[in-house]
Amino acid sequence: MPQPKKSQALPEVTPDIVKEHGLTLQEYKRILALLGRAPNFTELGIFSVMWSEHCSYKSSRPYLKQLPTEGPRVLQGPGENAGVVDIGDGLAVVFKIESHNHPSFIEPHQGAATGVGGIMRDIFTMGARPIALLDSLRFGDLDDPRTRFLLNGVVDGISNYGNCTGVPTVGGEIYFDSCYNGNILVNAFCLGLVQTDKIFLAKTGGVGNPVIYVGAKTGRDGIHGASLLASSEFDETTEAKRPTVQVGDPFTEKLLIEACLELMKKDWVIGVQDMGAAGLTSSSFEMAGNSGTGIEFDLSQVPLREEGMTAYEILLSESQERMLFVVKKGHEEETLEILNKWGLDGAVIGQVIESPEVRINYQGKQVVNLPISPVLDGALDLKRPKSKPKYLERVQHLDLTELADPPRGDEALKQLLASPNIASKEWVYEQYDHMVRLNTLVLPGSDAAVIRIPNTRKAVALSVDCNSRYCYLDPFEGAQIAVAECSRNIACSGATPIGLTNCLNFGNPEKPEIMWQFEQSVLGIAEACKFFNIPVVSGNVSLYNETKGKAIFPTPTVAVVGLLENLENHCTQWFKNSGDLIGLLGLTLEEISGSEYLKLVFGLCRGKPPQLDKKQELSVQELCLELIQGKLIHSAHDCSDGGLGVAAVESCITGPENSLGATLNLESTLRKDALLFGESQSRILVSFAEGKRDSIAEMAKGKEVPFAVIGEVGGSRFIVNINGDEFIRQDIQSLKNIWKNVIGDYARQIS
């Protein structure tokens, strides 16, 4: 192990040094008041990371309290590494989504890879084996070579890490808009499985228990990743921040998963914490803070991979694949033997003490002596000013009479299918191993992924979603729609939503307009989750997603987990049989505001998002579930981006076998483009045998859900007739060819 050189004299803490650490003068004065003395340089570094936006949630914490976090199935809500939801039979699922946005923009492969590694550690830290990954990715304009470089790097990083660790990436979403040109989003979700009596929390237990370092050696990568990279907007110095991006090793992560899960079978393991953002600093302070105790440790015992590291560097390093364990005293050697068997570094670096403080020694000297409460809870809950953005006065108005209603829809349909936001994502997910462990029932490409729970008849469905264009036009309504659409995807798969996690991506919170967007989005998620009875069990906030003063669209990404008590009742989106009838659940309104169609055909992002009638939404989802469980329908597909027309084509072409054509016969007084390409909410396209028609109609009437038979599956063409006039006639294979290769063709244009 490299030996550190003799410690150099610590730099003097000056106003310039404080500013370089991302702390304001007001915050530094608060530190002085809380400590009753000035912090030394290393202690200042600790405050800088623990009081950063990324770690302290100082701008967002007051709003997050609005979210509903309890429910009959919730075993652990927000506050731990991940949420835990009971699925019965002594089993629970553990899940969370979080961001790795800034690192992925600077160094796309490592940024995305370590984002996957970090979210996996959040899961197995709780004692759960990771069994599925999702990702939600946002990029800028694909005509920009930089975007294509980032796309290739991020996808390669995700696939490399997930594939090497043997955890399947089973789905996700990918979205392109110029608002992400200077700040991409990489949100990673992981779900794990655990026995309900084997859940581990970040705690220390009694005084004298040893604190054990587990995993890879510590280097200089990732220093100030949480405080200065993830908690500030990008500017001309962005490229200089490359050293703050962590470097991952998926093979070490795989060993770490197995070693940790073996250790957690022992009754002498007390608590576990991932060394994520802020590394050894956050893990030690949080574990002690959760238990009302303290920790004393010696940095000279920490395994290092670089020469001459200072105490400051060791404490703030965000080197990957590291964990902190607390075990019962007397079991140190047994712990180290298990780690050695798996080829991992392990070292006893300290012990639990009674006094609620963290004392750190290095090379025979005490370098840190800080009370825990000020470090964990001393950051101010910033009541940042809020104001409604002025741009809304301009963009929320849309006069449909000023837009021509096309006589035919062929070209608009082809244009939509060629949009990267609608086109096949196969180029992305074909690089992921989504079948490893052989529990994936529904592969990427349907509304939701479905994962079998081993040794049971149960399965879970997973979906992630957010229409950021809606959130830009109306953050409250857009956030509600994100929850509704994500849970609708779950219902289309045959599952009942049981829990939600969110990743709230916004611009600079120091700007009142951004804080207004944030507040409205959180309130929207809270209201929708309360209405649909879906608890929020975990989450992440990512602010400062802004470059040179230009913020991303508000992007409150949500991921919903659903439960199927009987896995045989799972459903997919594609048509199965020629001759089946096509039905539509829900009501179509004259709405093209904020739609993909409006953006592509007219070049506009205007109006208000589609209306969301939450009562109708819930009824549509419940009816869909009853139809699936009653074996009355063969397919179910959510109508979202591109509206009914795109949903119908996707139902024709996304199946694993040959494509099936379809004919739609529509009667309506609406504009033709709104009828076919508008994105009215609470609609599900279903297919079924002729003999089931009356039963479905009767059930829909009982639920007060609008239902209409609108067409038939079959043939080799996609035909749409509106009020007896032909609006679209296209060869279905030609449409599939347009849809299939768009993203891959762009991605291969590397310059």
Cβ–Cβ < 8 Å for 44, 224: no
Cβ–Cβ < 8 Å for 113, 250: yes
Greatest pairwise CA separation for the chain in angstroms: 88
Cβ–Cβ < 8 Å for 119, 98: yes
What are the angstrom distances between the C-alpha of 341 and each of 110, 259, 265, 269, 600? 28, 8, 16, 17, 57
Closest CA to 620 of 648, 589, 584: 584
As a whole number of angstroms, the distance between CA 231 and CA 22 comes to 8
How many other CB atoms are found less than 10 A from the CB of residue 36? 7
As a whole number of angstroms, the distance between CA 533 and CA 497 comes to 9
First to last CA, the chain: 42
Question: Which of 21, 54, 224, 434 is an active site residue?
Answer: 54
- Long-range residue pairs from 65-70, CB within 8 A, at least 24 positions apart, any chain: 66/522, 66/523, 66/526, 67/522, 67/525, 67/526, 67/529, 67/536, 67/539, 68/526, 68/529, 68/530, 68/534, 68/535, 68/536, 69/535, 69/536, 69/537, 70/535
Sign of CA dihedral 505, 509, 512, 515: positive
DSSP secondary structure letter of residue 225: I
Cβ–Cβ < 8 Å for 192, 274: no
As a whole number of angstroms, the distance between CA 220 and CA 12 comes to 22
What amino acid occupies position 53? E
CA neighbours closer than 13 Å in the CB half-sphere of residue 51? 26
Cβ–Cβ < 8 Å for 199, 74: no
Burial per residue of 316-353, b for 16 or more beta-carbon CB atoms within 10 angstroms, e otherwise = bbbbbbbbbbbbbbebbeebbebbeebebbbbbbbbbb
What are the angstrom distances between the C-alpha of 125 and each of 55, 160, 460, 675? 18, 22, 21, 49
As a whole number of angstroms, the distance between CA 409 and CA 678 comes to 12
Q: Which two tokens stand for residue 318?
A: 């965000």
- Residue whose tokens read 């001759």: 579
Instruction: List, in sequence order, every beta strand (DSSP E) within 89-209.
Output: 91-99, 129-139, 169-176, 185-195
Instruction: List, in sequence order, every beta strand (DSSP E) within 410-545.
Output: 440-442, 449-452, 459-465, 496-505, 536-542
Question: Which of 21, 100, 570, 634 is an active site residue?
Answer: 100
Cβ–Cβ < 8 Å for 526, 84: no
Cβ–Cβ < 8 Å for 92, 137: no
What are the angstrom distances between the C-alpha of 424 and each of 446, 465, 638, 650, 738? 11, 16, 16, 9, 9
> Which helix H or strand E contains 647, and what residues bound it?
helix 643-653
Whether 109 is a known active-site residue: answer: no
Whether 100 is a known active-site residue: answer: yes
What are the angstrom distances between the C-alpha of 183 and each of 140, 144, 355, 375, 542? 8, 13, 43, 30, 12
Please tell me the total number of residues recorded for the chain in this structure. 751
What are the angstrom distances between the C-alpha of 738 and each of 55, 408, 419, 431? 44, 18, 10, 21
Quote the distance between the C-alpha of residue 242 and its chain's center: 23
**How many helices (H) and strands (E) would you count in the chain?**
26, 28
Which sequence positions are flagged as catalytic?
A: 54, 100
